[in-house]
Structures are given as structure tokens and as C-alpha cells.
Amino acid sequence: MLGALAAALCLHPSQAPAEGFGPFPVRNFNPLQQLVLNMPADRAVVLSQGTLDVRLELAETAAVYSELPQNASAQMKFETLRTGLFLRYGVTSKLEVGFELPFLYRYTGIMSGMIEGVERATTGLSPARSALSNVNYVYNITRNGQQVINGTKGALGLGDSMVQVKYQLVRETSDMPALSLRTAIKLPTGDQNEYFGSGSPDFGLGLAIEKALGSRWVMYGNLNGVVPTGRIAGFALYPTIMGMAAAEYLWSENFSLTMQFDYYTTPFRNVGLEVFDKGVSELVAGFSYRFAQHWLWQAYAIENIDFVTGGAADFTLGVLFTYRFQS
């Protein structure tokens, strides 16, 4: 992706207007932390009045954790396919509403061989993946001698849904960036028994900002806060913060490349396991391609860069298809 971006800068493609496609709508894919409301990354500009976006997202996440501290243990190796249907509608020129309905499937996965090959050729096999090299699937967490989580292989079910409202406070000008206020509510529609939902509503509030720089670059930023309710696996939940920064390079009016950094704090405290207690920092890279008048195709990869925190999922691949109905 970096090589493609460098080529784009050097080859001087034809001029394109600075109208980007926005950051990738990713979230914290840590299998336990994602049970709390995650407001996906978003741009500040709202849809025009009367416009409806229908988006289908497929995200395949490989999670691997192997922890054996005193009085606790976490053995996790599996992949989750998250299929999300997201609807957005422009109510007025400044107001946009959205609704997301996700489905989750947890299984042994398809990316393990590819990930192991890349790790062996670069940094070496990660300690957690090395410790579980002879295990195809495990999702078992204990604390103080008691099992607190045992996730079923092959589990399929509905996740927690989300209602979102975005109001554009400031329109972009040559001097000022676009700025929007975002709110969201997570609805407890997910299966608690399979750890596809928390069983309680959560509430989020955030800001989104974006600014075009010249005719090629668009910069994006998000800052969100979430107040969860209830408990997960018996553990108390605490407010979380999410920050996002992204840069999109416009190759043409129909194709762009995006680099994105995301950071999430954890909703857990003092559990004694990094998968709960540590925050998440990740790097996202991908492209957006409008291949027909109303169709947008996006694809991204998320790499764990937890050199400071430590709770991120190992690797995620995602693809999105959006169809836009315009009045």
C-alpha cells in the first residue's frame, strides 16, 4: 500500500477534485472489548437530503491470545466473520441518521496459514501463536480457578445493533474544516451466551472533522466517548475513548488510497489479563473505488501495532460494498 501511494505521488495522475470517500468505518475488533459500543470511524460531511446509503461490510478477524498470569488464564485462537448491514439516510442538509445490524460467526478461520507465513518471514512467530501452534480452536478464559468464558466453535448469531445520529455543525470552507457532532446508542440485540452482545445498552458521543488539502488530499479525525452499562462475563464496565486520524490520497475522482490510525481504550479494569485490561492501537490501509455511478467498493487491512498497549486482535481483513440511492 505504501508503494502504491509513492507511485501515485511520482506518476502525477490526472487532476481530481478533493472529494474523498471518507475513512474506513472500522472498530475495535478485540473479541471482548467490541461487545461495548464502538462508533465506527466516519467523515464529518453528512449525506445530502433524501440520499440513502446501503452498505454491506464483511470483516474477517483473527484473534490469538495466550496468557497465564497468576490466578487467571486466557487461551484464545479463532477467527470471527462479522457481516454488517448499515443504512444511512440524509434527513436534512445537516442531519443524518444511521442504523447498523451485524451478524457474527466464530470458527477456526482461513487466515492462520497466511499470517504464520508472514510472521516467520519477518518478525518471527508471535509468542501467543507459537504457544497455540498445535491448537486449531480455543476460546477459554478462567479467573480465580473458575471458568468465566467458554466460546462455542461454529457459533453464529446476531450482534448488538446500533442507532447513530450525525449533525453537521460547520461546513468546510477554504479556511475552516467541516465539523460534525455524533451520537449513538447500542441496542442489546446480540446473543449474550455466545458473547456476541453485552445484554445492555451503551451510549456514545463524538466529534468528526475533515479538511481537503489541495486537490489530492483529504484529512479526517474522530474523537468519541462511550458510556457502557451492565457487565460482561461478570466484569464491571467503564467509559472508553476512541481516537482516529486518517489521510486519503485521491488518485482520481473514482479511486483513492487511505492510511488510518486508530486508538481505543478498554472498558475493563484490573481483570489481570491483557485481552481485557489493555487498550488497542492499530494501523489501517486500503483503497476506495467507485466502479459505477452508485456503487462504491472499499477494502482494508488492519495490523496490530500494540507497542504501547497490547489488547488488539491479531489481524483483520475487510471489504465493503455501498449502494447510494439519490432522489
Residue 66 has a pLDDT of 94
Domain 2-325 in CATH 2.40.160.40: yes
Instruction: Give the alpha-carbon dihedral of 117, 121, 126, 130, to 10 degrees.
Output: 60
pLDDT of residue 306: 77
Residue 252 three-state SS: strand
Give counts: helices (H), strands (E), the chain: 4, 17
Read off the C-alpha cell for 187: 441496542
Q: Exposed e or buried b for every residue in 231-249, given b needs 16+ CB within 10 A? A: ebbebebeebebbbbbbbb
Cell of 65: 491470545
Beta bridge partner(s), residue 88: 53, 98
d(CA 104, CA 159): 6
Instruction: Per residue of the chain (327 residues), give pLDDT as tens.
Output: 445 444 444 444 444 445 799 999 999 999 999 999 999 999 999 999 999 999 999 999 999 999 999 899 999 999 999 999 999 999 999 999 999 999 999 999 999 999 999 988 988 888 999 999 999 999 999 999 899 999 999 999 999 999 999 999 999 999 999 999 999 999 999 999 999 999 999 999 999 999 999 999 999 999 999 999 999 999 999 999 999 999 999 999 999 999 999 999 999 999 999 999 999 999 999 999 999 999 999 999 999 987 656 799 999 999 999 999 987
Give the strand pairing for 138-143 and 95-107.
unpaired
> What are the residue boundaries of the structural domains of the chain, listed by start?
2-325
**Contact assessment for residue 302 and residue 320, using Cβ atoms and an 8 Å cutoff:** no
Cell digits of residue 67: 496468557
Q: What pLDDT is attached to residue 9?
A: 42
Question: What does pTM read for this prediction?
Answer: 0.91
